[in-house]
Structure 1
């Protein structure tokens, strides 16, 4: 049997509704990947954020950690002077050393628990939405080929399907999680009861309006939506190029790392903008005793220009090193775990289907 015939047969089996991965199974696969990725990647996000945050004029230190998601938390302003890190972090390795030395190794995992709180629902929405969007788009594409063009299914997934599916899934995920991020940011700054949390929501809506809950959403979309489109397009095309329908753990790991690195490099300036904007919002609103009625709202172009004017091209790509060190393995771990879990459930579904047929045959023979 040729490779092409084998690949076509595998694709037909994967798309068979009887064996198709169920949404709940996709949820479990996404959660598994999110847990593993967050535990490994949080330290690199802490370093990336510190390198970006030191460009701002705020007199507080914020950790903008996102093992898979984003949040802010302030350093203790009453920290003794001898425990405070030096003013400047000179690169990734220097940041690791200084943070661990002055704040303890555990600080490299600052915010891991709250990261997981928002990472899990976001990852579920993102990966399940991507799988559903891709499946529906492929069904329409194959229907179009059969009815309009009268041609058989192609071997490769069309370029636009992973691109549009990735973009649509990321928009759903970041919009869903954005209000949760700001609420959790305030909760991280101090212990809060349920009533106080509701009061915080009302305070933000009163001073900033309903859309104040979505502060930072535009730069998040500009960073994450192109990232998602580029990432999934690269990943699916790498699979198609090598004729892989059911990737191994190793293949998914390498393909995810390559795709994630390319997407991260292109979108880093928007990551810097989002860091600056949410740090400013946290300083002036969330962590302020008397939040102002209005907060300066520079548009994205103005923020990019401001960062470029102060720090040049290097400022726009601040934290690129640790971002790549985080994103490449994070994407690799996440997609390989997700694909491996999907493969497990796919074969599980086949096994259960065969068992059902066997039991049905036995009942018929018994009759």
Structure 2
């Protein structure tokens, strides 16, 4: 009986509940997932990096595209100087930027997917071991498969516009409408398989080389690593971009052929197979035809990767500091 009385007395507490203020709203604390960042922060940093990279290097990309097409298009010589002179003569300096609108529409969303997928997969694949080049390569492959699905249609539009004044299209939206009407939706993904086959080894080499080069450069001078982060990211990116570009040039030539087929007198392929395109290139231009545009491709990817990685890492640092300040406040 005494126990029951005590329990009843305990239940009838004399404590007075304090009402919460009317403006009280409980907040959920969401911990950033990887590198102290949220998924959307990777997407924003990647989107900005991709747009800055491609817009800055667009003239070099135009020269490469014009050098890689076969047929009666204006550029037949594989020489860099001849290609540049021909573009300036036929289209003026503005010809170097023809198609940049399509690049702007495609690069931002594609790179948002690219870097956010890479960071997610890198966190999963490395399993706590940051020095795993195989994991970095695999994460890069997954990232490029996803991002190329977003970028390939606008890349096709961009390359067709880069063919110059001889191209039948007035602009980005005219090209999209014309291709849909005359060739169908599949034309936008005619080179997707080739793009994947090219970009899979490209990104595998690129990301593995970048992560290794970054670690090596930061290990040279650990005391000043934070002060020299921009130089480290730019240098590692340039090395990775140049090496990956050199390895994958033949597949890039095939991709350009498929995206520009039937335009401005360029060859059209019956089945669009990689083997068919390779045979045609070798027959018309020899094996050297597989490396048309290799120099501007390396000239594009080395500085482009330096710009992209340094911009991306700067964006990550900005969000990391912002999150840190918010946590302290």
Query: Normalised by the shorter chain, which TM-score bucket?
Result: 0.7 to 0.9
Structure 2 counterpart of 1:46, from 53, 62, 77: 62
Residues in 1 aligned to 2:91 and 2:217: alpha-carbon distance in whole angstroms: 46
The verdict on how the C-alpha distance between 1:242 and 1:250 changes in structure 2, with shifts beyond 3 A counting, is closer
Matched residue SS, 2:285: helix
Paired residues for 1:29-44 under 5 Å = 29-44=45-60
1:243 Cα offset (Å): 5.1
Residue aligning to 1:93? 81
Show the counterpart of 2:212.
237
Query: C-alpha distance in 1, partners of 2:156/2:274?
Result: 19
Deviation at 1:316, TM superposition (A): 0.7
Q: Which residue of 2 aligns with 1:364?
A: none
Cα gap change, 1:212 to 1:25, in 2 (>3 Å) = same
Match of 2:99 among 96, 103, 111: 111
Match of 1:178 among 152, 158, 162: 152
Structure 1 residues 228 and 197: alpha-carbon distance in aligned structure 2, compared to 1, 3 A threshold:
closer
Q: How does 1:290-301 map to 2 (within 5 A)?
A: 296-301=270-275
Residue 244 of structure 2 is aligned to residue 263 of structure 1: yes
Q: Are residues 192 and 256 of structure 1, via their aligned partners in 2, closer, same or farther at CA, if it must alter by over 3 Å? A: closer
CA distance in structure 2 between the aligned counterparts of 1:269 and 1:114, rounded to whole angstroms: 24
d(CA) in 1 for partners of 2:193 and 2:153?
13
Over aligned residues, Cα RMSD in angstroms? Answer: 3.2
1:330 aligns with 2:310: no
TM-score, length basis structure 2: 0.76
Distance in 2 (CA, whole Å) between partners of 1:276 and 1:250 is 36
Instruction: Determine the structure 2 residue equivalent to 1:250.
Output: 231
> What are the Cα deviations for residues 303-328 of structure 1, in whole angstroms up to 9, with x where unaligned?
22332233223211110011111110
Query: Aligned pair 1:223/2:198, yes or no?
Result: yes
Q: CA contact under 8 A between 2:210 and 2:240: conserved in structure 1? A: yes
Question: How many Å apart are 1:333 and its aligned residue?
Answer: 0.4
Distance in 1 (CA, whole Å) between partners of 2:178 and 2:201 is 35
Q: 2:20 is matched with which residue?
A: none
Counterparts of 1:69-218 in structure 2 under 5 Å?
88-89=76-77, 91-138=79-126, 141-142=127-128, 154=129, 156-181=130-155, 189-190=169-170, 201=180, 204-205=183-184, 211-218=186-193
Of residues 275, 279, 299, the one that matches 2:260 is: 279
Unaligned runs of 5+ in 1: 1-14, 62-86, 143-153, 288-293, 356-367
Match of 1:318 in 2: 292
Q: Rg larger in 1 or in 2?
A: 2
Secondary structure of the residue aligned to 1:189 is coil
CA contact 2:34–2:119 (8 Å) conserved in 1? no
Q: Which residue of 2 aligns with 1:5?
A: none
TM (norm. structure 1) is: 0.69
Say if 1:243 and 1:306 are closer, same or farther in 2 by CA, change over 3 A: same
Alpha-carbon distance between aligned partners in 1 of 2:289 and 2:249, rounded to the nearest angstrom: 10
Deviation, structure 1 residue 116: 0.6
- Asked if structure 2 preserves the Cα contact closer than 8 Å seen for 1:20 and 1:349, the reply is yes
CA contact (8 A) 1:183 1:201 kept: no
Which whole-Å CA distance do the structure 2 matches of 1:197 and 1:100 have between them? 26
Aligned CA distance change for structure 1 residues 129 and 16 (closer, same or farther; 3 Å): closer
2:314 matched to which residue of 1? 340
Q: Distance in 2 between matches of 1:237 and 1:216?
A: 31
User: What is the number of residues matched between the two proteins?
Assistant: 286
Separation in 1 of the partners of 2:327 and 2:179? 51
Which segment drifts farther, 119-128 or 100-109?
Answer: 100-109
Is 2:4 the partner of 1:23? no
Alpha carbons of 1:239 and 1:299: their partners in 2 closer, same or farther (altered >3 Å)? same
